[in-house]
C-alpha cells in the first residue's frame, strides 16, 4: 500500500474513534447538567409521582448507559431523535424530529460560514504573502499591529463595535440578521454582512500570521538560498519555491479557522439574533431540550474533526517525503 493512502486511512480511523469518544463526552456532560426537564415543564408544584411518570414517558428513567447506546445507535441510522420542546404538562405532544429543526438552521450557519470564508481566506493569504514579501517594512509592521489588535478582542466585543459603527452611528448595514428561507440572495447577503465581517476580523489574523510565519521560516532553507543565488526575484522565490512547501501548516490553520466559523459562531449568532445552529443550541439549553443539545454538539464536533482530517490529508499529500518514498 502506498504510504500516502496508508496514512490517510489511519487518519480517517483515528477521526472515527475521536468522534465516538466525543459523543460519549457530550452525553456525559449533558447528564451532569443540573436540573431536570420534567421538573422544568411541570413546575415545582408537581408531585414526585407526576414527574416520574413524565420522565418515564420521555424515556429519561432508563439508565444513562442504556440511553447512550440507544442514542448513538439511532444516530448511526440517521435518526437524531425527537425534540422535547413540543411537550407540555397537559399531555399534548407537538414535538418535532430534531433533524427537521436543525436542517434549516444548519443551512443558515453554513451560509454564514461560507460567506465569511470567501472573504477571510483569500484576504489572509494575500496579507500573509505580501507581509512575508516585504517583511520588516512599514507595511509588514502595520499589518502585524492590526492583526494583533483583532486577535486581542473577543468576537462579541467586535460584534458590538461593528453594530455601533455600521449599524447605529453610520447606518450602512442592518444590525439584526433575521433571515428567512424565501429571502432573495442579495438581501440575505446584506443581512448577514455584519456577522460575516465580525467573523472575518476575528479569524483572518490567525491565518495571516501563520501564512507569514510559514513562508519566512522556509526562506532560511538551503534550496531557497540557492534560488536567490541564481538571481530569482523575491516574488518568484516566495510564490514558486516557498509557498508550495508551506501549504501544510497553512492548510492546518485554515482548517482550524474554518472549523471555528462553523463551531464558534454561537456567540456571533446570539449577538445578531441569527437563526443558526448556535442560536438553536442556546435556546435548547435554556429549555432543557436534551435531544437538540446533543445533536447540535455532535454536529459541531463532527465538523471540527472533519475539517482537521482534511487539513491532515492536505499536509500528507503535499509532503514530498510521503509522495516520493525511497
Summarize pLDDT for 94-130 with one digit per residue, the tens.
Answer: 567 888 888 888 888 889 888 988 998 889 888 888 8
List Cβ neighbours of 252 (8 Å cut-off, separation of 6 or more): 210, 308, 311, 312, 314, 315
Residue whose grid cell is 512547501:
245
List Cβ neighbours of 287 (8 Å cut-off, separation of 6 or more): 40, 84, 85
State residue 208's pLDDT score. 87
Q: How far apart are CA 49 and CA 108, in angstroms?
A: 42
Residue 128 Cα to chain centre, angstroms: 22
Q: What is the pLDDT averaged over residues 272-301? A: 86
Q: How far apart are CA 105 and CA 82, in angstroms?
A: 16
Which cell is 221 given?
A: 532553507
Q: How many CB atoms lie within 10 A of CB 115?
A: 20
Q: Is residue 186 part of a domain?
A: yes
Q: Is residue 243 part of a domain?
A: yes
Q: How many CB atoms lie within 10 A of CB 163?
A: 19
Q: Domain count for the chain, please give it.
A: 1
Q: Is residue 1 part of a domain?
A: no
Q: Is residue 56 part of a domain?
A: no
Q: Is residue 60 part of a domain?
A: no
pLDDT band of residue 38 (cuts 50, 70, 90) is low
Q: How far apart are CA 42 and CA 59, in angstroms?
A: 16
Q: Is residue 195 part of a domain?
A: yes
State residue 288's pLDDT score. 78
Q: How far apart are CA 280 and CA 263, in angstroms?
A: 13
CATH number, domain at 273?
1.10.3720.10
Q: Is residue 94 part of a domain?
A: no
Q: How many CB atoms lie within 10 A of CB 222?
A: 7
pLDDT, one tens digit per residue, over 50-106 is 777 777 777 777 788 888 888 888 888 888 878 777 655 555 555 678 888 888 888
pLDDT band of residue 151 (cuts 50, 70, 90) is confident
Q: Is residue 47 part of a domain?
A: no
Please enumerate, as own/partner, the contacts of 74-80 that have beta carbons within 8 Å and a separation of 24 or more.
75/23, 75/298, 80/291, 80/295
State residue 28's pLDDT score. 87
Does the structure show a pLDDT above 70 at 10? yes
Residue 120 is part of which domain span? 99-288
* Coil/strand/helix, residue 81: coil
CB-based contact 196:272 (threshold 8 Å): no
Amino acid at each position: 500500500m502506498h504510504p500516502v493512502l496508508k496514512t490517510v486511512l489511519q487518519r480517517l480511523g483515528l477521526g472515527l474513534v475521536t468522534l465516538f469518544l466525543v459523543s460519549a463526552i457530550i452525553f456525559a456532560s449533558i447528564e451532569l447538567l443540573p436540573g431536570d426537564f420534567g421538573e422544568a415543564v411541570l413546575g415545582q408544584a408537581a408531585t414526585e409521582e407526576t414527574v416520574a411518570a413524565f420522565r418515564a414517558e420521555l424515556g429519561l428513567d432508563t439508565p444513562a448507559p442504556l440511553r447512550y447506546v440507544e442514542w448513538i445507535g439511532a444516530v448511526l441510522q440517521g435518526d437524531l431523535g425527537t425534540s422535547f420542546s413540543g411537550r407540555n404538562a397537559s399531555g399534548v405532544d407537538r414535538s418535532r424530529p430534531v433533524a427537521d429543526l436543525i436542517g434549516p438552521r444548519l443551512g443558515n450557519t453554513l451560509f454564514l460560514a461560507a460567506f465569511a470564508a470567501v472573504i477571510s481566506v483569500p484576504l489572509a493569504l494575500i496579507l500573509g504573502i505580501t507581509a512575508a514579501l516585504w517583511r520588516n517594512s512599514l507595511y509588514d509592521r502595520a499589518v502585524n499591529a492590526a492583526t494583533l489588535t483583532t486577535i486581542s478582542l473577543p468576537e462579541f466585543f467586535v460584534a458590538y463595535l461593528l453594530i455601533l459603527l455600521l449599524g447605529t452611528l453610520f447606518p450602512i448595514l442592518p444590525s439584526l440578521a433575521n433571515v428567512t428561507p424565501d429571502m432573495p440572495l442579495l438581501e440575505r447577503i446584506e443581512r448577514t454582512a455584519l456577522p460575516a465581517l465580525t467573523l472575518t476580523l476575528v479569524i483572518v489574523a490567525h491565518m495571516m500570521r501563520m501564512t507569514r510565519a510559514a513562508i519566512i521560516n522556509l526562506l532560511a532553507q538551503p534550496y531557497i538560498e540557492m534560488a536567490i543565488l541564481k538571481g530569482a526575484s523575491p516574488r518568484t522565490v516566495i510564490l514558486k519555491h516557498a509557498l508550495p512547501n508551506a501549504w501544510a501548516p497553512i492548510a492546518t490553520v485554515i482548517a482550524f479557522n474554518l472549523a471555528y466559523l462553523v463551531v464558534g459562531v454561537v456567540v456571533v449568532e446570539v449577538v445578531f439574533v441569527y437563526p443558526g445552529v448556535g442560536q438553536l443550541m442556546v435556546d435548547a439549553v435554556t429549555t432543557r431540550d436534551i435531544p437538540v443539545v446533543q445533536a447540535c454538539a455532535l454536529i459541531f464536533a463532527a465538523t471540527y474533526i472533519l475539517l482537521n482530517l482534511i487539513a491532515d490529508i492536505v499536509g500528507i499529500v503535499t509532503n514530498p517525503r510521503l509522495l516520493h518514498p525511497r
